[in-house]
Amino acid sequence: MDIQGLNKIIDKINLIKCSQNIEIVIDTRETKLLNYMKDYKFVKISQLDVGDIHYRINGKTFFIIERKTLEDLANSIKDGRFREQKIRLQKCLSQDISIIYLIEGYLDSKFYKKHNKCKINGIPLNTIIGAQINIIIRDMMQTLKTSCLEESVLVLFDIYKKLKINYQNYIDKSSKHKLEYVDSIQI
């Protein structure tokens, strides 16, 4: 993805009117991500205590993304950061803040064929897959997989775009935005 193509996407997003101040806050340590995103007026840079990316509406964080490449995930499992980061993220869940782990990189079929023999940075593949399953099932957080940094950038901008179009659908946890079973029945 080139900067010119990215600018065309952003120009379209900027045409969307929104009554709320929506911004993306990116941690100062996310240098590769910032190379793509730092120059846009709705992107702020700050040293974050938890997560790598925050989505804020009128200054209030309501959505946090923890971004990890497969290699980062393996290293954080190895050195214990993964568990510590997850505990801090779980505290945010209790404050009604949504959490997503954005995992960059795919394991191709040859990795799956050698499931128990494959390692990433010394961590067995089944441990890495197990960590992702635990995030979803045990820890009640979401995961989103992207193939590379550029795809992650597009996803982050797409989230921003959806918020600008209709942020109420994403931040209002009340039942009015949930489909009730009775409403779904067709006769």
Dist CA 89 CA 14 (whole Å): 31
Say yes or no to pLDDT of 187 above 60: yes
Whether residue 37 lies inside any domain: the answer is yes
Whether residue 176 lies inside any domain: the answer is no
**In the chain, pLDDT over 70 holds for what percent of residues?**
76
Whether residue 181 lies inside any domain: the answer is no
Q: What pLDDT does residue 2 have?
A: 58
Helix and strand element counts for the chain (H, E): 9, 8
Where do we find the tokens 């393996």? 74
Number of domains in the chain: 1
Where do we find the tokens 């505290």? 91
Whether residue 184 lies inside any domain: the answer is no
Dist CA 180 CA 169 (whole Å): 15
Question: 31 exposed, middle or buried (CB, 10 Å; 0-12, 13-18, 19+)?
Answer: exposed
Dist CA 28 CA 34 (whole Å): 8
Whether residue 175 lies inside any domain: the answer is no
Domain range for 115 is 3-168
- CATH number of 157's domain: 3.40.50.10130
Dist CA 55 CA 61 (whole Å): 6
Whether residue 179 lies inside any domain: the answer is no
Whether residue 174 lies inside any domain: the answer is no
Dist CA 169 CA 175 (whole Å): 11
Q: What pLDDT does residue 179 have?
A: 59
Reported pTM = 0.81
Dist CA 173 CA 159 (whole Å): 17
Dist CA 125 CA 185 (whole Å): 43
Q: What pLDDT does residue 59 have?
A: 92
